[in-house]
Amino acid sequence: MVLEAIRQMTVAEYLAFELDSEIKHEYIDGEIYPMPGVTWNHSAIMMNLGIALGIRLLASECQVHSSDLRIRISPTRYVYPDLSVICGIAETEHNTMTFLNPTLVAEVTSPSSIAYDRDLKREYYQSIDTLQHYLVIDQHRVRVDFYSRGADGSWRSRQFADIAASLPLAALGCELPLAEIYRRIEF
């Protein structure tokens, strides 16, 4: 992981620390990692994605959440995806803002996290039983790495780089055009 760990602590210490922290931190196997700031494109892509999914999911039991929602990957791994969708009743841990059952998570890449988002973090997310779709969205060019769980439980990946393409979000019952994700983004 490119991000540098700043401290070793237990899960209980991390959760207490995070309540008082002015910035968010991810927790991986005892170490905490500060979440870096974002660029204009990163922020705009997150908002575009949230709006586009939110409109499509208005009549469903699914709800879109921002990067303020923490996801528990395992008892020793907690992360903040850039965007998540939870369908049905949200399952939480210890009445915290930690959720256990995302259907979709999305990460917008940054120079410091691109390898982590595409490799190790992808493996972490794919270990969540409820997760059906994982999106890695490039902020420097039109490119979405799309991972989707098949009916047999295996993961399939496709790369989308055509602005006219749409992501087939079967678990959400919709398609999402890349043109909406990258609306008004300049490279």
Strands 70-74 and 98-99 come out as: parallel
Answering whether pTM is above 0.85, one says yes
Residue 101: CB atoms within 10 Å: 18
Annotated domain spans of the chain: 38-181
Q: What is the pLDDT of residue 4?
A: 59
Distance CA 124, CA 109 (A): 16
Q: How far is CA 184 from the centre of its chain?
A: 22
Q: Of 41, 23, 161, which is closest to residue 109 (Cα–Cα)?
A: 41
DSSP run (H or E) holding 13: helix 11-20
Q: What is the pLDDT of residue 5?
A: 58
Q: Classify domain 38-181 by CATH architecture.
A: Alpha-Beta Complex (3.90)
Distance CA 184, CA 57 (A): 22
How many residues comprise the chain? Answer: 187
Distance CA 182, CA 59 (A): 24
Both tokens assigned to 155: 């993961």
Q: Of 64, 25, 24, which is closest to residue 46 (Cα–Cα)?
A: 64
pLDDT in 10s for each residue of the chain, 187 residues:
445 557 789 999 999 999 899 999 999 999 999 988 889 999 999 999 999 999 999 999 999 999 999 999 999 999 999 999 999 999 998 777 899 999 999 999 988 888 889 999 999 999 999 999 999 999 999 999 999 999 999 999 999 999 999 999 999 999 999 999 999 999 9
Q: What is the pLDDT of residue 36?
A: 80
Q: What is the pLDDT of residue 2?
A: 45
